[in-house]
């Protein structure tokens, strides 16, 4: 089973991994810009997301193996840059720590290697599971069901990008909601390794986000990524790339060409 992916542009590979409940579609606008700037951009749907395969298991070890299989299939050279946001950032960290010879540099967007209880996702999980797919007649009804659990319209619109009509015209989620619900603690797992990743690593954090704290910057990241730098984008939250695309474009383009 190979991960669904999409390629744009030519040049040195830049592999992009989305976050929890996301898809590669979330990165297409920035992907086009990076492709126009001279990168071979490979946007990926991780397992249990988008158009990639569904499995009951959802761990960073398995997701890293999925990415390794894609690297092998596409015959990506060691000059590849691997970028991941949130959950995808943890996949990228795990991959870099365990397969350091397969890439030249790492970019992690708004996530630290430490463990998370994932309690902040409880409302989203409850909301998604509360949507009555079998009775659903419109996306508006789905939004109304989500609104009982999730107040922010922007978060609901992000989640509703996963809703689609099947051939029989009924609605379904693209993500494997059952697997993600049962594996939420695994999504929050700490990223560890016996040896650090010695190559360059760029961490981009949102100034309004607490996913990378000052403590992470000083004590959590350096032991695993000693050749790392942390850049803060002021006035951005966790979805840094959506809120400040120009800043993210510039940081990633410059670092991937370094």
Examine the residue annotation and report whether 258 is marked as an active-site residue of this protein.
Answer: no
Identify the active-site residue in 5, 58, 94, 238: 238
Identify the active-site residue in 86, 94, 98, 228: 86
Contacts of 238 (CB under 8 A, 6+ apart): 86, 110, 206, 209, 211
Examine the residue annotation and report whether 138 is marked as an active-site residue of this protein.
Answer: no
Closest CA to 114 of 20, 189, 17: 189
Closest CA to 142 of 129, 131, 155: 131
Distances (CA, A) of 104 to 62, 111, 165, 205: 22, 20, 40, 21
Closest CA to 252 of 84, 133, 128: 84
Catalytic residues: 86, 238
């Amino acid at each position: 089973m190979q991960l669904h992916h999409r390629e744009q542009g030519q040049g040195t590979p830049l592999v992009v991994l989305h976050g929890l409940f996301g898809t590669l579609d979330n990165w297409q606008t920035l992907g086009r810009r990076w492709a126009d700037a001279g990168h071979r951009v490979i946007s990926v749907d991780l397992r249990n997301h988008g158009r990639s395969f569904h499995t009951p298991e959802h761990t960073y070890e398995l997701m890293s193996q999925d990415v390794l299989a894609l690297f092998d299939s596409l015959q990506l050279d060691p000059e590849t840059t691997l970028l991941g946001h949130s959950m995808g950032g943890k996949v990228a960290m795990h991959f870099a720590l365990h397969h350091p010879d397969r890439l030249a540099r790492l970019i992690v967007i708004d996530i630290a290697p430490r463990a998370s209880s994932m309690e902040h996702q409880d409302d989203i999980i409850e909301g998604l599971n509360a949507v009555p797919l079998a009775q659903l007649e419109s996306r508006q009804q789905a939004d109304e069901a989500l609104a009982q659990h999730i107040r922010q319209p922007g978060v609901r619109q992000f989640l509703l990008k996963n809703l689609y009509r099947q051939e029989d015209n009924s609605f379904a989620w693209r993500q494997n909601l059952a697997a993600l619900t049962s594996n939420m603690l695994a999504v929050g797992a700490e990223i560890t390794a016996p040896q650090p990743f010695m190559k360059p690593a760029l961490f981009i954090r949102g100034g309004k986000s607490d996913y990378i704290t000052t403590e992470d910057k000083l004590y959590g990241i350096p032991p695993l990524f000693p050749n790392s730098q942390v850049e803060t984008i002021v006035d951005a939250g966790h979805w840094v790339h959506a809120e400040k695309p120009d800043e993210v474009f510039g940081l990633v383009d410059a670092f991937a060409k370094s």
